[in-house]
Structure 1
């Protein structure tokens, strides 16, 4: 087992945090021999910026009332969020070996009733933004200045409930709501662009009354700027960041593989992937 990396509040770089999130996720995938590892590797940079730059929380008190809420609409991305929560000190690293096991606090699909720091049970897809809208409204009515973040997939852009929630957020002037769209152009039935996401995304959100940004979701400085802009943007509009990510980012032989919603990783390849990460540890 690798040595624990210093936790939030210490002088650890965002590239190192993203690297660690990828490594934790790979170790969990190795435990089960499967998992949505392509998505976890791709969204690691987004989670590094969210957890170690943008959001306010207390690792020792996941239910702290003043925390920013982080909702995982894409429940099958749980492996990625667990990796970030391990890195943040919300979950202990030694629980990696229990991933997906009976009675584990880290089931393969995220469930709020099982896991400290897991705010909602994600799925059916398309429901997370509606839940986030309700939470943002509640925080405003209580006078709580916290933000609500909702991480959703590009496939959820084809769900009618997503756009109903988007209209509601603009109607109620929820400027404490930040939606993060992981756009990796992959969903269960094929490329997202071949389904319903056939046109540029930012103009759609702008037409629904949102402040919209589109960034390279694997460019850490660009993500930092986008998160800062989202939090500090003046006015009443809700905010969205469309993050264009690469499936399997950070492990070249997996990056080169034909991409599908659930990539195949052979038994010997988990160790190979970890060895590659261990050869490129960032400062």
Structure 2
């Protein structure tokens, strides 16, 4: 299943069953008169989160990539909503806005005026800054002005790598210097944070920049080809004719292709 968060981790090191008990006590927790509300607080795994999960012991977190060749396909909506929901649930994350339209950046609280003098995704691609130097605390507007203290509220556990209009030239920059194709690999190699997921919001096209990022995914990461639920949009997903066409692709990608 695409976009699966890591399984909860037990708080205690004492010996406990590896599976939840078959009998779960039920109570009327919401006072609705319905006695079939599960009392999850009795379970040893309730309320625990392994936010430091690392696939196969690697030093960087899970990667969820939102990509499909089509504008208005809900890539940004899916990426930001899933990121915010997970962050509020205790799973730290970073949203990478790799689109020159900067939609994810805007959703998470920053416009071009707010970004004046700040580093953006293009600085990561050129190697002019580190992830921690670029990533900003995600936020949402609560006032009509531009005061970062009075008119915005931070979104706990979430950061955003701001997009930039200059990302429109990312493919050309990679073509001009082959060494730049390792820009995302280098970010992952030196990563030392505690995020659970890196959310990648791509432009509505395929090219050198998306490839330079997607090649770093393995079978535990997720490619999420978000689309609107209408016949025209569904055609954007090119279904492989057999499982052999998806050999080596992330499991979530093969699942989305219907060949698992």
Question: Would the TM-score normalized by the shorter structure come out above 0.5?
Answer: no
Q: Give the TM-score band, short-chain normalised.
A: 0.3 to 0.5
**Relative CO higher for 1 or 2, CA cutoff 8 Å, sep ≥ 6?**
2
Larger Rg over CA atoms: 2
Of Structure 1 and Structure 2, the greater strand share is in 2
| Length-normalised TM-score, structure 2 | 0.34
TM superposition score normalised by structure 1: 0.32
Judging by fraction of residues, say which structure has more helix. Answer: 1
